[in-house]
């Protein structure tokens, strides 16, 4: 049977479930995870905020030699940390102790936080949250966030405000 220009176009879409649905679900999940990390980081910053340092922790002394050796190679649990800078709080919230891979564990939350920083500065950022970024790009974003955290005169309330902005971005992006 011949088709003419007046015939309706045939669908070229493959049959089966819409692959965009899976991509949307994955994207939503990434934003929900980033939101959870940012909320835990916010709780840590409320407990104690730090400038010009990574974190201050209180650990109970290890009971055995094996425990002491394990502690050398790990970071504290978030509950053991008294104070943290913005990026350390996000990193600790993302990996929950042990040997972290900060770029992988905290990457999505860092991306959203970086977008929120640009928005806070009154500039429309590229809205990178939710997209994978190259490790070198994430390191640069983390450095920028550390510099922002350590600026003289910065307050804990400003840091909490930035976290709130990032959390709001995650919520809006997850429902969009």
The reported pLDDT for the residue numbered 67 is 57
> Is residue 89's pLDDT more than 90?
yes
Domain residue limits, the chain? 25-175
> Is residue 78's pLDDT more than 70?
yes
Per residue in 48-74, pLDDT (tens digit) is 999 999 999 876 555 666 655 555 556
Which two structure tokens, joined as six digits, stand for 176? 């969009």
CA dihedral 143, 35, 51, 71 (to 10 degrees): -90
> Is residue 13's pLDDT more than 60?
no
Provide the whole-model pTM. Answer: 0.76
Per residue in 130-159, pLDDT (tens digit) is 456 788 998 999 999 999 999 999 999 999
> Is residue 6's pLDDT more than 70?
no
In this structure, the strands spanning 55-57 and 81-84 are antiparallel
CA dihedral 141, 42, 45, 153 (to 10 degrees): 60
């Amino acid at each position: 049977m011949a088709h003419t220009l007046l015939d309706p176009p045939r669908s070229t879409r493959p049959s089966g479930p819409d692959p965009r649905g899976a991509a949307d679900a994955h994207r939503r999940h990434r934003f929900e995870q980033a939101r959870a990390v940012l909320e835990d980081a916010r709780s840590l910053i409320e407990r104690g905020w730090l400038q010009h340092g990574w974190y201050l922790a209180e650990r109970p002394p290890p009971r055995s030699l094996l425990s002491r050796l394990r502690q050398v190679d790990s970071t504290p649990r978030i509950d053991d940390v008294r104070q943290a800078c913005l990026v350390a709080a996000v990193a600790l919230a993302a990996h929950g102790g042990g040997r972290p891979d900060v770029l992988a564990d905290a990457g999505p939350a860092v991306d959203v936080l970086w977008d929120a920083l640009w928005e806070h500065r009154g500039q429309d950022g590229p809205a990178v949250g939710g997209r994978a970024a190259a490790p070198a790009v994430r390191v640069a974003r983390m450095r920028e966030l550390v510099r922002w955290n350590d600026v003289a005169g910065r307050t804990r309330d400003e840091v909490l405000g930035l976290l709130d902005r990032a959390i709001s971005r995650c919520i809006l992006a997850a429902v969009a």
